[in-house]
Structure 1
């Protein structure tokens, strides 16, 4: 059946039916990372959320061009128009070339995305690869009177723009409030207004990353790059623009202003934003000492974690919360997710062994419909997961001969699980991912047998109890010892 998808649009603050500009083609732009440090869990949450959206729209038959950029220049400290470039500063401290920093952290970001089974975007442009396009946009804004040049730097004139267009249309904030709450920043004496932002910045002699332009040797403003790259690959207007909630007040607000100034329209029709992460109810931050990186979450090598969790457990945990809700990390929440994920995957593992048995006692189509309804309602992954637990209950009941199912419904049940668990949620069955596991367990059981022969019962019991703690039960009999998943 044809699916009607409804998306919460930050621009209108309502859920709207998703109607692409040029179906079946869909253009989606998501602001990517600034590659000056390790990818953090906030990054991961955002890109896992948009991976779900990308997968689902593709599943529905849309031809999605997904553009997710890499910021490798122009992002200054404090996200403003002053201070050092974040990448250049890191390069100076490490006595490396800026592009060595970019290469290192871009590779690390891609490694983390693969670990979380996040599909790569269709195009991954870089800011430094699109300097010419950014200069051309600045020329357009100058020609249209939306920007002005001072001493080799070019600024966007916010108050002039606001005379004809609401500058705070995306954030919902009025210009007067923004002006009253804006502190004086460096470079302020060059600007006509407190809210004006840099499109091109004249480089100081010590600045490492700089390019020639009609105005000066300098570098582009942070907000300009996304406007240039989204326009190049998706056009003057496209379907979805995404990113974290923290990008709304400044970065995305300025993108909207740049696009309207150049082309007379907002770059995207639907603005989609992911919410923030907290730890035990507090905002995650280095200053509070409660932040941790993905690899620390996998290994458990962090003081606030009781143990490590597998990448798919973490992905499952993130998808158990709706992308627009706050996601709170705690040891209890992670352990509950780990149990839930194992329960789902244990049922998934039983799928191929299920047998049809005469007249069915369960109809799968209503369950399938509810799975689609969940995702059609603003990609509601927690409701979808609840429905998949119902599917798991049915699988276990059929496996235990407590429920009959015919061939048609069994085939539909298998389709449902493969479609939603692996295809759309992107969850991999880590239990089944290693062909080496049986050999490893056989080796451990042989060690235990040797301990028993040597009457080292303490070691024998320690091996048995240790395996039980991590989910493997040993059963001794006259024929030998066998193992099974708990």
Structure 2
């Protein structure tokens, strides 16, 4: 088992040696999407990053229970319990039942992640499927004296909690400054403190999604669902809790408070957060007009895009940046990633065509060691990609007859590419994996070979040049004709 893994822990703001609570088992909880609209690229980056982490933990020998929730209830427009319910608002807009909205956007979310070739989580619970657990947790928090009822709504008492626990442990913010900067909101008179937040919200007459509770009909607050579901499937204490960095200040801060107020235990040992996306140096957002959906990125149907980029190109682009660093989208950067990804896939397509020699000019072990070392250093995928390009250079050198590789080193090379390109990064060749394309090319190559045998060189050259114009390069040798993407 890999024992050298270090994670950056948002809780302590430093890298720490990863020590799972119940080795070799790892419990990981990641805040999933709120399914009232199409998944955005920020979500995609988060889930691609934690897919990488999930895959590498499994590769390292851990048995991982990866829990990623679906938020399908209890999410108001504002983090401070103000505004309309987002699901009800979308349902009215599209003239659908709220659960139709949930179904529609959940399926869309899964479709997008399949295009990025991410693995499904071990468990994907929904908030609406765990109302009982949320009610029971709220009751326990109230019994422990950290929550109170006001007109049928249950609020978490931040001031009372802060007398025993550190409410800002995750962000290191000053509590007094937070109190001073919190604006007055509608319903504030129901709360004892400005930072108090709702665990259970009383249903209004027009509320569509509501459930019975000891305090009357209502629905859960946004934050309580994750605390309840993580505790149910991973226990009061587990290893990793993750999500986008935008969740740390409010959602994850309140999760920690709820969990400690209920069980008197800090829920996760390691807190991990992915960084934000920018477009040409400006933060990506709908209000700025520079936000685009994954489908727009794939088709190029957006005024900021010169063309579309394939899902694997976009995924490769995301993996070229560390998950904790800002990722800037631009046509130039995506073009460069597209070329790099094609170069990597071209090299992979040549692996099975290499003929081993008795001796070797190359030692693959240092490359393997560097890849493992980089992944152990808080999942440093950009460094791994640099090593994979070095491996690609070796493949091309041997294929061109400018270097020799032994059978033992070739086996290491093949295993390296299988492990890191396919199993850990979850990349796939979107072109050569197409069986129909391979079959057609094989047939065309046979037709060209027949033309050459009949000394019909005009037809032979026409086929070669035609394929070249489409990005397919033919290479003739004494063993026959092979092809790769130019």
- TM-score normalised by structure 2 residue count: 0.93
Partner residue in 1 for 2:431: 431
The answer on 1:43 being equivalent to 2:43 is yes
Distance (Å, rounded) in 2 between the aligned partners of 1:27 and 1:431? 36
Q: Residue 296 of structure 1 aligns to a residue in which SS?
A: helix
Distance (Å, rounded) in 1 between the aligned partners of 2:404 and 2:475? 30
Per-residue deviation, 1:166: 1.1
- Contact 2:242 2:273 survives alignment (8 Å): yes
Partner residue in 2 for 1:485: 485
The answer on 1:226 being equivalent to 2:226 is yes
Structure 1 residues 15-62: Cα deviation after superposition (integer angstroms, max 9, x where no partner)? 000000000110000000000011111111000000000000001110
Q: Aligned pair in 2 of structure 1 residues 230, 10: CA closer, same or farther (>3 Å)?
A: same
Q: Aligned pair in 2 of structure 1 residues 483, 408: CA closer, same or farther (>3 Å)?
A: closer
Over the aligned positions, Cα root-mean-square deviation in angstroms equals: 2.3
Q: Residue 336 of structure 2 aligns to a residue in which SS?
A: helix
Partner residue in 2 for 1:349: 349
- Contact 2:432 2:438 survives alignment (8 Å): no
Q: Tell me, which stretches of 5 or more residues in structure 1 are unaligned?
A: 446-459
Q: Tell me, which stretches of 5 or more residues in structure 2 are unaligned?
A: 446-460
Per-residue deviation, 1:263: 1.1
Partner residue in 2 for 1:250: 250
Per-residue deviation, 1:106: 0.2
Partner residue in 1 for 2:189: 189
Distance (Å, rounded) in 2 between the aligned partners of 1:91 and 1:48? 29
- Contact 2:5 2:376 survives alignment (8 Å): yes
Equivalent runs, 1:87-98 vs 2, <5 Å: 87-98=87-98
The answer on 1:4 being equivalent to 2:12 is no
Partner residue in 1 for 2:15: 15
Distance (Å, rounded) in 2 between the aligned partners of 1:443 and 1:286? 48
The answer on 1:32 being equivalent to 2:28 is no
Q: Aligned pair in 2 of structure 1 residues 316, 469: CA closer, same or farther (>3 Å)?
A: farther
Distance (Å, rounded) in 2 between the aligned partners of 1:280 and 1:471? 29
Per-residue deviation, 1:361: 1.5
Q: Residue 430 of structure 1 aligns to a residue in which SS?
A: coil
- Contact 2:36 2:105 survives alignment (8 Å): yes
Distance (Å, rounded) in 2 between the aligned partners of 1:216 and 1:276? 39
Structure 1 residues 262-313: Cα deviation after superposition (integer angstroms, max 9, x where no partner)? 1112110000000000000001111111111111111111111111111110
Per-residue deviation, 1:484: 5.3
Distance (Å, rounded) in 1 between the aligned partners of 2:363 and 2:444? 43
Distance (Å, rounded) in 1 between the aligned partners of 2:296 and 2:87? 23
Equivalent runs, 1:106-125 vs 2, <5 Å: 106-125=106-125
Q: Aligned pair in 2 of structure 1 residues 162, 234: CA closer, same or farther (>3 Å)?
A: same
Q: Residue 435 of structure 2 aligns to a residue in which SS?
A: coil
Equivalent runs, 1:81-230 vs 2, <5 Å: 81-230=81-230
